Amino acid sequence: MASNSNIDTEGATQHLRDILKLDRPGNSTEEQTLHCETVKPASALVCECVAGSQLGCIYIDTSCLTWEGQPFQGKGAIMEKLTSLPFTKIAHSITAQDHQPTPDSCILSMVVGQLKADDDPIMGFHQSFILKNINDSWVCTNDMFRLAIHNFG
Amino acid sequence: MASNSNIDTEGATQHLRDILKLDRPGNSTEEQTLHCETVKPASALVCECVAGSQLGCIYIDTSCLTWEGQPFQGKGAIMEKLTSLPFTKIAHSITAQDHQPTPDSCILSMVVGQLKADDDPIMGFHQSFILKNINDSWVCTNDMFRLAIHNFG
């Protein structure tokens, strides 16, 4: 595992800034829409999506979660699933992350990393999610999670 | 590798249909918006996104591709990248796939699988993309690809 420490919020912020080209004047609709000041909270949300902290704040009633192929819709169902996962402690490490603006001014992220739940062996995972700005708050409308055990048929 | 054969379009179609709950009357906005007849072409696009066939048809000038962390924007830049990849033949196998409707009536897909390029060893990959219906055609607005070598820091 690259690191068991907390996720690098500053690094993720800069990565988002770089990918979304937010340090230079933008000409495209995407660049104009995704203002610089939105990157920091969005980046923190990326970390929360992965780390599972304060998840209740980021899902809404239309959010979708697909967890290891199982679909859940709505904040209630998603929180029920996430809070019933069978471990008492978990550490995450992000090893690669990609971010793109979408045509609808959301952010699509794909995160790859490793996790360690309790005393289980370290496992790879990949997660994709969409962050959307609604009324000046960033929420997670779509979230998909898979352990990295499915690349091998 | 699970299979070197062509991707299972019919299976992918049924999977999309199941996930999007298109076989039963829908009450949610997402279910009403994503009509049944759109699933088949969308599913074919999932296969094209992964298999790399007829890619020129599915990217548009605002499409984003992040390939192994490198960003490309626009049909021209994306096609230039994809057609310059250093292999002469490639076989894909999808081992897991997830699909969700997004709030903006797009489809978010996360696909996990294996590929074999020329005589290289089989490698895992993961890919996330967004399909959007514009003027009755499905296009790929966002595409992210990573080989499964980044889970191990």
Question: Mean pLDDT lowest for which of A4-8, A97-101, A122-126, B108-112?
Answer: A4-8
In this model, does residue A52 exceed pLDDT 70? no
Of A1, A2, A144, the CB nearest to B100: A144
Looking at residue B150, what is its pLDDT? 61
- Among A108, A111, A131, A138, pick the best mutation site for testing chain B contact (most B Cβ within 10 A): A108
A79 membership: H or E segment, kind and range? helix A75-83
Of A71, A142, A148, the CB nearest to B151: A148
Topology (CATH level 3) of domain A9-147:
Nuclear Transport Factor 2; Chain: A, (3.10.450)
CB of A93 within 8 Å of a chain B CB? The answer is: yes
Report chain A residues whose CB lies below 8 A from the CB of B103: 62, 104, 132, 141
CB of A126 within 8 Å of a chain B CB? The answer is: yes
Q: What is the mean pLDDT of chain B?
A: 71
CB of B77 within 8 Å of a chain A CB? The answer is: no
pLDDT digits over B20-35, tens only? 444 433 334 343 333 3
Q: Do B101 and A126 touch (CB under 8 A)?
A: no
The residue among B107, B153, B150 whose CA lies nearest residue B129 is B107
Rounded Cα distance, A9 and A62, in Å: 27
- Segment B36-60 mean pLDDT: 57
In this model, does residue B125 exceed pLDDT 60? yes
Query: Would you state the structure tokens that stand for residue B26, as one six-digit string?
Result: 């829908």
Q: Do B30 and A101 touch (CB under 8 A)?
A: no
Interface confidence (ipTM) of the complex: 0.73
pLDDT digits over A105-126, tens only? 888 999 888 888 888 888 888 8
Question: Is the separation of the CB atoms in B31 and B21 below 8 Å?
Answer: yes
Rounded Cα distance, B47 and B12, in Å: 8
Report chain A residues whose CB lies below 8 A from the CB of B128: 108, 110, 128, 144
Looking at residue B90, what is its pLDDT? 77
Looking at residue B106, what is its pLDDT? 87
What would be the CATH architecture of the domain defined by B9-58+87-147?
A: Roll (3.10)
In this model, does residue B36 exceed pLDDT 50? no
Domain parsing of chain A, residue ranges: 9-147
Looking at residue B40, what is its pLDDT? 46
CB of A2 within 8 Å of a chain B CB? The answer is: yes
Rounded Cα distance, A76 and A117, in Å: 24
DSSP class of A36: G
Q: What angle do CA A11, B78, B41 make, to 5 degrees?
A: 110
Q: With cut-offs at 50, 70 and 90, classify the pLDDT of residue B112.
A: confident
**Could you give the percent of chain B with pLDDT greater than 90?**
10
Q: What is the mean pLDDT of chain A?
A: 71
Q: With cut-offs at 50, 70 and 90, classify the pLDDT of residue B17.
A: low
Amino acid making up residue A125: F
Task: State whether residue A83 is helix, strand or coil.
Answer: helix
- Segment A35-58 mean pLDDT: 54
Rounded Cα distance, A39 and A13, in Å: 6
Q: With cut-offs at 50, 70 and 90, classify the pLDDT of residue A144.
A: very high
DSSP chain B: ----S---HHHHHHHHHHHTTTTS---SHHHHHS-GGGHHHHHHHHHHHHH-TTGGGTEEEEEEEEETTEEEESHHHHHHHHHT-S-S-EEEEEEEEEEEE-TTS-EEEEEEEEEEETTSPPEEEEEEEEEEEETTEEEEEEEEEEETTSS--
Report chain B residues whose CB lies below 8 A from the CB of A99: 66
Q: Which of A15-19, A128-132, B14-18, B111-115 has the highest mean pLDDT?
A: A128-132
Rounded Cα distance, A129 and A45, in Å: 10
Looking at residue A141, what is its pLDDT? 92
Cβ-Cβ pairs closer than 8 A, A with B, add up to 136
For residues B67 and A56, the model is more confident at B67
Rounded Cα distance, B110 and A147, in Å: 12
Report chain A residues whose CB lies below 8 A from the CB of B62: 28-30, 103
Side by side, the strands of the sheet bearing B90-101 are B70-73, B59-67, B137-147, B123-134, B107-117, B90-101
Rounded Cα distance, A107 and A143, in Å: 12
For residues A30 and A78, the model is more confident at A78
Maximum alpha-carbon separation in chain B: 50
Looking at residue A149, what is its pLDDT? 73
In this model, does residue A31 exceed pLDDT 50? no
Q: Do A28 and B150 touch (CB under 8 A)?
A: no
CB of B17 within 8 Å of a chain A CB? The answer is: no
The burial of A138, by beta-carbon neighbours within 10 Å (0-12 exposed, 13-18 middle, 19 or more buried), is given as buried
Residue B97 C-alpha, separation from nearest chain A C-alpha, in angstroms? 8
Report chain A residues whose CB lies below 8 A from the CB of B73: 28
Of A29, A113, A142, the CB nearest to B151: A113
In this model, does residue B113 exceed pLDDT 90? no
Question: Is the separation of the CB atoms in B117 and B44 below 8 Å?
Answer: no
Question: Is the separation of the CB atoms in B132 and B139 below 8 Å?
Answer: yes
- Among A111, A142, A149, pick the best mutation site for testing chain B contact (most B Cβ within 10 A): A142
Q: With cut-offs at 50, 70 and 90, classify the pLDDT of residue A48.
A: low
Task: State whether residue A38 is helix, strand or coil.
Answer: helix
For residues A136 and A7, the model is more confident at A136
Rounded Cα distance, B64 and A11, in Å: 22
